[in-house]
Amino acid sequence: MAFDYELDYSSLNLREKPELYRVGRGEQGVLLVEPYKSEILPHWRFKTPAIAQKSAEKIYSMFEAYRKEDDFVGMDMARKFIQMGYTRARRYANYKGGRKYNEDGSVKEREIDVVKGESAAIFKEYWDKIRADEDYVRRKKGHQKTYG
């Protein structure tokens, strides 16, 4: 089931109401779902490979802490932030300033930033690790089967 953008996320604590959470596609809802957004966002950075490494390690440690708490929503939100670390760093690696389009709507020519590419690769390793995690995959399927 798709992520539900109709909910008033500003007034919801999805740790208390995990049944309202929908995994959705990719990074849907990553900047909406509380209290996870407020817990994870302060650690999400990718400016340099060293910063990206520290960020990815911290967010992955949060993923593991959520697992220990049997908190699938937290696990999935950590996964979304790691995925977003990859996609945003890739965007900045490919386009100066992270802007893909010119003002007229045409696609800019790529200007490769190797440093941001290294940051993206760091997040990609963690994202791949989570996607291959059998326990995470089992929990995700269970949540989707139970709640949609």
Q: What is the pLDDT of residues 68-116, one digit of tens each?
A: 999 999 999 999 999 999 999 999 999 988 889 999 999 988 988 999 9
Can you give the residue range of the structural domain that contains 46?
9-147
pLDDT of residue 136: 98
- Determine the pLDDT at residue 97: 85
Give the predicted TM-score (pTM) of the model: 0.93
108: three-class secondary structure by DSSP: coil
| pLDDT tens digits, one per residue of 14-25 | 999 999 999 999
Give the CA distances from residue 63 to residues 14, 92, 107, 117, in Å, rounded to whole numbers and listed in that order.
Answer: 16, 25, 35, 23
The pLDDT value recorded for residue 94 is 93
Q: Where are the alpha helices (DSSP H) in the chain?
A: 36-40, 49-68, 72-94, 114-131, 134-147
The structural domain count of the chain equals: 1
Question: For residue 139, is pLDDT > 80?
Answer: yes
The pLDDT of residue 1 is above 90 = no
* 94 inside domain: yes
- Among 22, 77, 142, 40, CA closest to 7: 22
Q: Is the peptide bond before 35 cis (omega within 30 degrees of 0)?
A: yes
How far is Cα 95 from Cα 68, in angstroms, rounded to an integer? 39
Torsion angles phi and psi, residue 107, rounded to 5 = -75, 130
42 within some domain:
yes
Q: Which whole number is the average pLDDT over 51-78?
A: 98
Amino acid letter for position 80: K
The conformation of residue 47, written as its DSSP 8-state character, comes to: S
pLDDT at 2: 83
Give the confidence band of 7 by pLDDT, cuts at 50, 70, 90. very high
3 in any annotated domain: no
Rounded mean pLDDT, 142-146 = 96
Q: Answer whether residue 37 is part of any domain.
A: yes
The token pair at 130 is 């989570």
Looking at residue 80, its pLDDT comes to: 98
Q: Are 89 and 120 in contact (CB under 8 A)?
A: yes
| Residue 95 domain flag | yes
For the chain, give the mean pLDDT. Answer: 95
* pLDDT band at residue 55 under the 50/70/90 scheme: very high
Q: Does 4 fall in a domain?
A: no
